[in-house]
Structure 1
Amino acid sequence: MLYLLGSAAPPVLSFPVVVEQAQARGWGVVVGLTPTAASWLEPELPLLAELTGYPVKSRFRRPGEPDLLPPADAVLVAPATLNTINSIALGITPSWVAGFAAEAIGRRIPMAVMPCTNEALTAHPQMGRSVETLRESGVRVLLGEGGFVPNPPGTGNPAAYPWAVALDAVAGA
Structure 2
Amino acid sequence: MSLEISTLWFCIILGVTGIISGLIGYLFGRVNATQNPDNSFEINLLEIQNAKLKADLDTCKKRLSTTKTPKESIAVPLVVHQKNTPLFRPYEAKLAFGKSIKEDDLKIVEGIGPKIEELFHNFDIKTWKALSETSADTCQKVLNSGGKRYRIHDPASWPMQAKMAYEGHWKQLAEWQEKHRAGKY
TM-score, length-scaled by structure 1: 0.28
For the pair shown, the structure with the greater C-alpha radius of gyration is 2
TM-score, length-scaled by structure 2: 0.27
Identify the structure with the greater helix proportion: 2
Identify the structure with the greater strand proportion: 1
